[in-house]
Each structure stands twice: as structure tokens, then as C-alpha cells.
Structure 1
Amino acid sequence: MTKNSLQGIIPDTLTNCSNLEVLELSGNFLIGEIPLNMGRLSNLLRLGLSVNNLTGTISPSLKNISQLERIFLADNKLTGTIPDELGQFPNLGSLVLGGNKLSGGIPETLYKYNQSSLILLDVGYNMLGKTLPSNFGDTLPSLRYLVLDDNNFEGHIPASIGNISGLLMLDLSSNNFSGQVPSSLGMLGMLNFLNLGGNKLEAKDIESWEFIGALSNCSSLQTLGLGGNKLQGAIPNSIGNLSPELQQLDMDTNELTGPAPINIGNLSALTLLDLSVNMLDGPIEGWVGKLKNLTALILGGNNFTGPIPSSIGDLTDLTTISLEENEFEGPIPPSMGKLKNLTALILDGNRFSGLIPSSIGNLSKLTHLYLGKNEFEGLIPPSIGNLKMLVKLHLNDNNLHGNIP
């Protein structure tokens, strides 16, 4: 009965169906509280109430359903704490509570009872907090998906998470985790998604940056999110040894300095590279042209210098180029006119000069063209009139003249 238009409360009489094994009502418009007598469904294996408008707390009576294997209560308006009883089911494989207003911490019973059957734990987008115990990874050995994002967890990331050898997804983003990223995460050989962004994690010397080299052992890693932390200094050269399957690398809003390592060009599968809002400098010519699969190049808010290399025209999948607020200089290369999929070209606040090339008019999908606060001169090219999809055009603070097409 998922994804219908069921409304109203869950009738308490439903709990009289003592032989029910699956109750799946997700994706409806149900309101009110989870029935207090839900525990009477003693044969239930799967409880699915996600994506409704349920309120109130999670009933401790669920403890009476001893054979529960899957609990899906995500995307409601549930409040209160996660009952300790939810950590005591011997066969629990999935516990999905994300997108509510739950507070407190993860029940200690999850650690005490060694949940060897738990594969999926998702409590993201709540108001949970506290620290994770140091033995966190040792007590949940079968996890494949661990999602704790957008909460208030704090303290160090337990090194024992590296012992969850089959982990595929680890999302700890948007919390208050601090200290160093444990190098033990490099033991997660099957990991394909790692997001640690939006925390207070630090790296400022060779030792604290060792985790990047360790992650090169994660040969299936496709997403690495490190943005919005307190990472300092140069990006280590070992960044180029990350998985050849890496598609998204996000290191924005840190305190990174120096040039980006040339061997970042080894990450040829990258579709998104975000190094914005740091203090990086130097040219990009030595590596950017090697990233043939890029769809988004986001380098704004740094101190990058030099020209845009003509090799940028070889990155024909690009949809977004964001280079604003740097020290780039020289002309826009005519080869940029080859980027037929480009929708946003953001070059504001640099030292670009010369004529705006007429090849800009070939970018038929362009919706945002920001060229303001540079040193462009000469006529506004009439070919800009070909940009029928254009929504925003910035040409301010240049030395342009002539008519707007």
C-alpha cells in the first residue's frame, strides 16, 4: 500500500492482525502517532511507515515484536529519543529513521548486543548528538550503509569504523566531528561513498594528512567529500593516487594553500571537482586538461593565477565552470566555444583581458554568463545575441563599449 493517497491516522484496530508479517504504508499522507499497541503484531518482520506525516514518539512497545528484521520510519515528524528497545532485535537488518526530529544519541543497546545482522543504519537529518563510542565499528561488523549526516554528533571519528570491512557508504557530513580523519578508513576496501564534509576535522601536517594516502586502498571509491572543515596547508601529492573510479572530489571551504598538485590530473574519472573558497594559488594549466570527464569545475574564491588553458575546450561534458574571485589573467581561449553543454560560465572578479571571443555565442545552452569585474575591452560581441537560454548576464566593471546585442 505504498505511494497511495491514504490519509488519516493508523487505526489501532490494525494491531489485532496478529499474524501480519509485513506492514508497509510508506509514501502516503498518514498523520497522528504510531499506535501504542503496535507491539501486539508479534509476527511482524517488516514495518514500513516512511514518508508520511506521523508525529509523536517511537513506541517502546515495538520491543515485543522480537523477530523484526526491517524498520523504516524515515521522513516523518517523529520526536523524542530512539528507544533502547530498538537495539535489542536479534535479526534486525535495517534501521532507517532519517528525516525526523529525533534527539539524544544512538541507543547503547546497539553496541552492547553486537548487532551482527545490521546492514543499514540511517539516522540522518535529525537532531541526534553525543559522541560515538570508540568500539563503534567493532559492534556493528556487518554494516554496509552508515548514514549519520545532518545531526549534532561530536568528538573524534572512531578509528574502529575501519574494521567494518564490508562498508559501502559512510556519510558523517554536517555534524560537529573534530580531530583528525583516522587513517583506518583506508581499510574499507569496498567503500564507494565517503562524505565527511561540514565538520570540524583538522589536518595541518604530514601525519594528519596521511588519511589521503590511506584512502588510495579504497579502490572502488567514487565520492569523497571533505568540504567545510579545517584542513590546512598543501593538498598532498597522494591525492593523485586515489581510486581511478573517483567521480566527485569536494574540498571546498577549508584553509588549503599552495598550488593544486599536478597529479590531480590522474583522477581522470572525475565529473565534479570543487576546490572553492580556499587559499590555493598557482596555475591550473598542468592538470585541468586531463580531466576529460568533468561536468563541473568549481575553483572560485582562491588565488589561482595564469590563463585558462586552451585544453579546457577538450572537456566537452562541462556544464559548469566557476572560476570567480581569483587572479586568473589573459584572454578567454576561443576553444571554450566547443563546450556545447555549458550552462554556467562564471569568471567574475579576475584579471581577464582582451576581447570577449565571438565563439561565446556557440554556447547555446548557457543560462549564466558572468564576466564582470575584469579587464575585458572592445566591442560586446554580437554573437552573445545567440544565447537564447540566457537568464543572467554580468558585464559590469570592464572596458567594453558598443551596443548590447
Structure 2
Amino acid sequence: MLVLSHNLLHGIIPDSLTNCSNLNYLFLSYNNLMGAIPTSIGFLSKLISLQIHRNNLVGLIPPAIGNISTLKSLDLGENQLNGPIPDKLWQLRNMKYFYLNENSLSGEIPQTVSNISSLLDLSLSTNMLEGTLPSNIGDAFPNLQNLFLGINTFQGQIPASIGNASGLGRIDLSSNGFSGQIPSSFGRIGALYYLNLESNKLEAASDGEGWEFFHALANCTSLQVISVSNNQLEGVIPNSIGNLPTNLTYLGMSGNKLSGVVPPSIGKFQNLVYLLLDGNSLTGTIEEWIGKLTKLQTLGLHGNNFIGTIPPSISKVTQLSYFSLAENNFNGFIPPGLGNLQRMSILNLSYNNFEGSIPVELGNLIALTKLDLSSNKLSGEIP
């Protein structure tokens, strides 16, 4: 075992290190190492764990790493490695932890990957990987617990086989070019608690087709985070949203083409901390549900067609720090109860039809860093 992590080492990884033929564990993470990974690294045939995370390594990943059949953990994340992922790495049958995130890797994942039933974590996020995902990805990695593929240029449909990896807890496919419908097979993943699909080209139609995944996610009783923001979802938010688990803390649906009213059943999510519905064409009022979400810290409703007033029940949402209703059709008076929200940092009520005076109670918002009341019908003095 050689552990040199968390130091200030610089220079290259010396070739001579690969003479340590009995080495099982090589930990060089969190240093300032430069240059390429030695191609002779494949001579370390007994390696179980190779961790060179967060250095300044450049060049290609040596295919010879794929010869180390004993390897269980490979972490080359947060470097400047480029080129493709060697095909041989996808054949390491003992691999449990596979981290290549935050590099400049390109190319594709093979269309058919070998069965690696030992694999628990796969992180390839923040690279330049492309192409479609293997259709058998969920069957090849049946025991996967964490799948991080965000911030790449993957495209095509999300394979339905992901639903066969029933132990998946976290899935991040955000900031890619995935298209088509969101597979309802996600509903088979009983362990799922984090699902981030934002910033893709995923679709659901205004006639309800493509919204089946919402019904299916009701089976994921541990679900806490779901984001489908910045996609191409159309139509009304289904009433089945009310069947999602009540321990939901984050719901993001911004930047889609949603219309109609927000189902009042959204008020049952009393553990919600973040609710983002901005940048849609939603209408109706917020009176029926806003006061029930007492743990909200962030509420983004701007850029819609909401109507009605801000109800007095807003004063119950005492944890709120970000509150934006800008660019809607709200009217009536600004409620004095907003002054009870002592944690408010950003309050944006611009581009609505609010009238009357600015409540003196807004002076109680001592944490406020931004207040925007522009483009309304307010009158009287500034308190």
C-alpha cells in the first residue's frame, strides 16, 4: 500500500513506481501531479484500488489499466485527461467504483457493455462523451447504486433497462441531449431518492402522452429530489403528482411548456424545500396550496400567467429566502405578512399588477439583499 494523498506533490508519476509489482493500493489523489499516467501502469497486476483524483494529469487513459483484472476501484476524476475511455475498462469484472468525472474525455460508451454485476458507482459526468447509452446498461450493471452522466453530449432515448438496476439511489443525466419520453421503468427502482433529468430535450405531450413516468414514480417511496427542468414537457401537470412520496424536498419543473393550473395536491408535500415552476405558461391562483408548504426556502414562479393575490397564508412559510413571482398577472395588495419572513434574501414581485402602498413591514426583512417591485401599480411613499 502506498498512500500519498492530500499533499503538495508535483511533477510526473515516475515509471519506476510500476516496479512495485506487489502493490495493491495506490493513492495519489489531491496533489499537483502533472504529465501522463505511465503506460507501464498495467504491470501493477495486483492493484485493487488506483486513485489519482484531483491532480493535473493530461493525455490518454492507458488501455493497459484494463489488464489489471483485480481492480475494484478506479478514480481518475478531476484531471485533464482526454481521448476515449479504453474499451478494456468496460470488461473489468471486479470493478465496484469507476470514477472518470471532470476530465475532457470524448467518444462513446460501447453499445453493448459486459455484465459487471459488481459495479456500484459509475461517474462520467462533466466530460465530452457522446452517442447513445447502451440499451442494456441496466442489465449489465444490475447492482448499480449511483449513476452520474451529467454535463456531456449524450443523446437519444434514455434506455428503459435502467429500471432493472433496482438498487439505484441516485441518477443524474442532466445537461445532455437526451430526447424522447422519460421511461416509466424508473418506477421500478425502489431505492431511488435522487433523479436529475434537467436540461435535456425530453418530451411529454399536451394530450397526456409521455407523462406516465409521473404515475410510475409514485412507487419510489424514498424519492426526495426530482428535477425535469429545461426540457420540452407540454400540457397540464398531471393530478398524479399528488401520488409522489410526501418526503419530497426538491421539485423542479422550470423552463418547460407547462400550462393549466398547478394541482392543489402539491400542498401535501410539506417537506418541500425547493419548488421551481418558473418559465412556463401556468395559470390559476396559488392561494389553495402555498400556505401549506411551510418548509419552503426557494419558490420560483416567475415567467408564468398566474393570477389572483398573494394570500395572507404566505406568512406561514417562515423559512422562505428566495421568492420570485415576477412576470405574472398577480394583483391586489402586497401582504404585510411578508414582513414575517425573516430569512428572505431575494424578493422579486416585478412585472405584475400589484397596487397600493409598499408595506412598512418589509423593513423587517433584515436579511434582504435584493428587492424588486418594479413595473407594478404601486403608489404612496417609499417607507
Deviations, residues 280-315 of structure 1 (Å, cap 9, x unaligned):
011101111111110000011111111111111101
Contact 1:241 1:266 in 2 (8 A): no
Q: How does 1:189-228 map to 2 (within 5 A)?
A: 189-204=190-205, 205-228=207-230
1:185 matches 2:192: no
CA distance in 1, matches of 2:137, 2:148: 14
CA distance in 2, matches of 1:347, 1:61: 59
Deviations, residues 302-332 of structure 1 (Å, cap 9, x unaligned):
1111111111110111110011111111111
SS of alignment partner, residue 83 of structure 2: coil
SS of alignment partner, residue 95 of structure 1: strand
SS of alignment partner, residue 62 of structure 1: helix
> What letter matches 1:54 in structure 2?
L
SS of alignment partner, residue 113 of structure 1: coil
Q: Who is 1:47 aligned against?
A: 50
Q: How does 1:152-301 map to 2 (within 5 A)?
A: 152-204=153-205, 205-301=207-303
Deviations, residues 150-196 of structure 1 (Å, cap 9, x unaligned):
11111111111111110101111111111111111111111000011
> What letter matches 2:92 in structure 1?
F
Contact 1:83 1:107 in 2 (8 A): no
SS of alignment partner, residue 240 of structure 1: helix
Q: How does 1:24-35 map to 2 (within 5 A)?
A: 24-35=27-38
Task: Give the length in aligned residue pairs.
Answer: 379
Query: Shift in Å at residue 147 of structure 1?
Result: 0.7
Q: Who is 1:384 aligned against?
A: none
TM-score by length of 2: 0.97
1:118 matches 2:119: yes
Q: How does 1:6-405 map to 2 (within 5 A)?
A: 6-108=9-111, 111-204=112-205, 205-381=207-383
Uncovered stretches (5+) of structure 2, i.e. residues with no partner: none
Contact 2:208 2:235 in 1 (8 A): no
CA distance in 2, matches of 1:65, 1:163: 28
Deviations, residues 239-285 of structure 1 (Å, cap 9, x unaligned):
11111111000000000001111111111110000000000011101
> What letter matches 2:154 in structure 1?
F
> What letter matches 1:131 in structure 2?
T
CA distance in 2, matches of 1:206, 1:253: 18
SS of alignment partner, residue 321 of structure 1: strand
CA distance in 1, matches of 2:326, 2:332: 14
CA distance in 1, matches of 2:256, 2:143: 33
CA distance in 2, matches of 1:240, 1:302: 21
CA distance in 2, matches of 1:12, 1:301: 58
Uncovered stretches (5+) of structure 1, i.e. residues with no partner: 382-405
SS of alignment partner, residue 179 of structure 2: strand
Query: Shift in Å at residue 64 of structure 1?
Result: 2.6
CA distance in 2, matches of 1:77, 1:312: 48
In structure 2, relative to structure 1, the CA distance for the partners of 1:359 and 1:112 (3 Å cut) is closer
SS of alignment partner, residue 227 of structure 1: coil
TM-score by length of 1: 0.92
Cα RMSD (Å): 0.9
TM superposition outliers: structure 1 runs of 4+ over 2 Å: none
User: Taking every aligned residue pair, what percent have the same amino acid on both sides?
Assistant: 52
In structure 2, relative to structure 1, the CA distance for the partners of 1:338 and 1:20 (3 Å cut) is same
Query: Shift in Å at residue 134 of structure 1?
Result: 2.1
Query: Shift in Å at residue 112 of structure 1?
Result: 4.1
> What letter matches 1:12 in structure 2?
D
Deviations, residues 332-362 of structure 1 (Å, cap 9, x unaligned):
1111111011111011111111110000000
CA distance in 2, matches of 1:28, 1:180: 43
Query: Shift in Å at residue 18 of structure 1?
Result: 1.0
Query: Shift in Å at residue 106 of structure 1?
Result: 1.6
